[in-house]
Structure formats: C-alpha cells, structure tokens
Structure 1
C-alpha cells in the first residue's frame, strides 16, 4: 500500500458537481415523487437559504466559467432546472425569497462563515450541500480527514439550528465524484481539460491511467466521500430540525450531458436539474412531514 493510500485510508477508518440569467432552456418534465397535498394545505416557506460551494451557485452551467444562480439546483429560476425554490413555489402557491450563502471552493471548515449571515436571516428552510471540495483537492495529501470533517459538519448544523431554531434544515449527501471520472476518462477533450486544471487532482490526476496506484487513489477518494456522507448523516441525526437525504444525491446517476462543456467538471443545466430532482423528495418531507409519501 502506498503512503498516500495509507493516509487517506486511515482517514476513512477513523471515522456536493458543478451571473444571474433568465431561463436557459425549455422546461423539464419532472420525475420522482411529488407531495400530493394541495397548495393551500402546504406549510408556507417564505425564505430559503443554501449553504454550499460552486455547485449551488451554478458555476459553469450557463456557458461561462462563472456563477449562474439562475441555474442553481437550490434557488434557480431557470424552468429547465426546476429548482427546489421553484418546486416550493409550485407546492405552496408562493415564491420564496432566496439567499445564496455559498462560495466557490469552500470546504467544510470554511462553511461556518455562512452563520454570520444566518444571524440576520429569516429563512424557513436551509439547504446544505457542502463537502465535495474536502475530497476534491489539489492532492491526496490535502483532503480533509474524516474526523475533522465530522466535527466541522456537526458544528455547522449546530450553528444553523442555533441561529434559526424554527428553520427546517435539509442536509444532502455529496455527489458521487468517482462517477465524474468514469464519465470523462475516455474522452480526450475532457482528459485534456482535467490535465490543464489544478482542480481536483486528488481524483482526476492521470485520468486515463489504469496503473494500480492511480486506481487505488481513486478508490480511496470514493471511500472518503462515502465516509463524509456517513458523517453528514450522523450530524443530521443529532440535530432535531435536520432531515438527511439518505444518500439520494450521492445515488443520482449522471451522463455526459449533465456535465458542463465549459470546464468538464461542474454540472450543466441538465445536471443541476438532476440534483434538484434527487433532493426534492427529502425537501418535501422536511417541509411537510405529515404529507403522504408517493
């Protein structure tokens, strides 16, 4: 076992992909469960806040390597995304206000910076999708150890519930990062883009290689993400106002059209739509626990 494998493996044992615009493309047909309660019977959600990274800002989703919150899975306005905010508006009959407490490149230890903004927030619903940048780093030596991730995530949820004791929190599992590599590894243009980028070298370095060290490194990052998801589940279970997605976002399956052609890394509009669809059943249950499951 190589030194880096021991390092990441030990971290695992000790214990989301991704300028405001208008609609980018035609509306999607919604899939997955939708609460059956009528709009008039739905609890109201006046404001939604999202804590996260570049995924939640829609970076690279709208044709440029910059934020495009209209395409955000959480708070977007593009009908093609059918974001959580859009679904809440449809279900409750009232469009919620939205707050993007997300920053590109943020790691879990930095996410607590959002708490100062929450102190002045009136959010009824807080969506949390953060942690991909803790595994997707410049090298395997700089990933966040699982124990540190778990402590920081628990502190984040405690801070959210303290700042907004009446708000419902939805903690989402992380996207399957290994799937990103699987989608692009045989495409020369994608591999070239990854080789030029300093991002996510822990996973995407030598993307075309099948050498044993590279295979083990990718497997270690996949295991690390799974361990992060376990930590998210544990932190959420310890927070009375939190609902975990039971791995729904991690389980979402993507294809090449779901990845941005701008950087071959972040979700496209179509990919953002899939994230929203994966998250929605959990959000719907958090909003109205009494609603019958479909």
Structure 2
C-alpha cells in the first residue's frame, strides 16, 4: 500500500519528471561599442509557487486509479484529483496560486535513487521539496536485498545534502517510511490478499508466507519492522543537520491505513482513498515548511 514499486506492478519501470518547461533567450547581436547595463536584482517570489517530490510509486500513485499503472493526478504530493486534496492543492489554497509541480520519482526507487534524484532536482527550481523514500529498501525481493541501516543512513544523508546544495533556497520536507508491518496485518487474514502476495516475487522480505505464524516468519517480519525504525531515525537525524529541512515527526509512519486505503487491484499500493489519507498526514510538515519559507521573504 504505501509506496512499493517492487510489488505486483514491479515489472513497470521508468522515471518521471513532470511539469518542467524551459525557454531559450536569443543571444544579443554584437555591437561596435561596449554596452554598459545596470544590474537589476530579480525580486523574490511573493509566494512559494513550485513544488517537487522525490519518491517512488507512492508519489506516482501507482494503482490508485482504474489501472495498475501510474496515475499522477491522484498523487498525494502533486496530484490534481479533488478527492485526494494533495499537498500541491493544499499549497494552492493557502497561497492563492497553483504551484508548478514536478515528480522526480521512479517506480521501484529506493534510497540508492538519491544520486539520480539530486542530478534532476536542480531543473525544478522548486521552493519546497518533499522526500518520501525507503519503503522499497525494506520491502525487498529477499532479506538479503534489504538495504542495511548503515547504507540507508549514508545515502539518505547524501540525498538531503545534495538537494540542499542544488536548491539552497528551497525548504525540504523529510517524510518517515510508512509502517509496512501494518500493511501486512491488514491483509494477512484475507485469503485473496495472501494469494496475490504469494504469487508475486516482490517484497519477499516481508510478505513471504504472509499467513504463517512460524517463529522464523515472525522473526523475519519483526526484523523488517526494526530496520524501518532505524531508517526513520536516520531520516530524522539527516534532516536535523539541514537548516532548511522539516521532519514529519513520524506522521507518515504512524498512519494506520484501512482496508479501503489499499488498492483492490493489487492489495498492496494505496488506493485513491489511501492517497488522500497520506496527503492528510503529510500536510502538517509541509505547512511548517511553507511557514518557514514565508518567514524568509
């Protein structure tokens, strides 16, 4: 449910950068005499009117509509569907201006996506950058493929510092990793859900033998839950070291999604309702970031 691109739609791969535009200015015609021009300082924007999200399939709203594909209009972060009331739409309601939005997101992205994301983020010129990554690092094809807390810590720190270096005036919002164990609890007693999970090669680290209470399976799930706790501690710490970063205070991780919040297409990704639930949980931290941005005008 939460943002798990390695799931039943894991065969889908791709990278999205949305809503970017650029225009070129013709070079001036050379003149015989040098031209002295007065330097004019570009005025600061009155409102935060550009928003970017760095993420995975959750931010692309995979399986949130009537297809297992991405449905960005339903994204919790940059979507336009009024039923979701995304961060972008909430930002617009506060500022009175529809923001330019960009999804620097890839299906299946984990924290190793950081390097590519940093290379792409500068072009967005975003005033506010939302970051939601980590679910795919824990929800892996096998326990051996789970990103270690040490690797996650290093990569996530590089991500935030890299974004800050590229966009020094932007406010960052670092979101905690969703509670994947809660997802398992939602579906473990439903035969159809367990069957779908069993047919998928994805997220074996958590969802293998989903209805089993054997000690080794319980231990495996508990270990994944503990890893996510360590990821979240790293996210909080990394954010605290960036002056213009707001941590969500575990708001996303603490969300207790309902069965309605899970897509009926794969019993794994967020439904339209789930995207709305996430947007509601994610907004307070984004609102703090907006207030911080406004205070610097």
Deviations 1:192-224 (A, max 9, x none): 110111111100000000000000100000111
Given the alignment, which residue of 233, 239, 251 partners 1:236? Answer: 239
Q: 1:147-226 residue pairs with structure 2 within 5 A? A: 147-226=150-229
Runs ≥4 residues deviating over 6 A: none
Alpha-carbon distance, 1:111 to partner: 2.6
Secondary structure at the aligned position of 2:253 is classed as helix
* Structural RMSD (CA): 1.7
Alpha-carbon distance, 1:112 to partner: 2.1
Given the alignment, which residue of 274, 278, 287 partners 1:275? Answer: 278
Partner of residue 78, structure 1: 81
Alpha-carbon distance, 1:43 to partner: 6.3
Alpha-carbon distance, 1:139 to partner: 0.7
* TM-score, with length taken from structure 1: 0.84
Alpha-carbon distance, 1:290 to partner: 9.4
Alpha-carbon distance, 1:114 to partner: 1.3
Secondary structure at the aligned position of 1:243 is classed as strand
Unaligned runs of 5+ in 2: 4-15, 17-44
Q: 1:23-34 residue pairs with structure 2 within 5 A? A: none
Contact 2:65/2:271 (<8 A) preserved: yes
Secondary structure at the aligned position of 2:54 is classed as strand
How many residues end up aligned between the 2 structures?
254
2:75 and 2:88 map into 1 onto residues whose CA distance is 10
1:132 aligns with 2:135: yes
* TM-score, with length taken from structure 2: 0.83
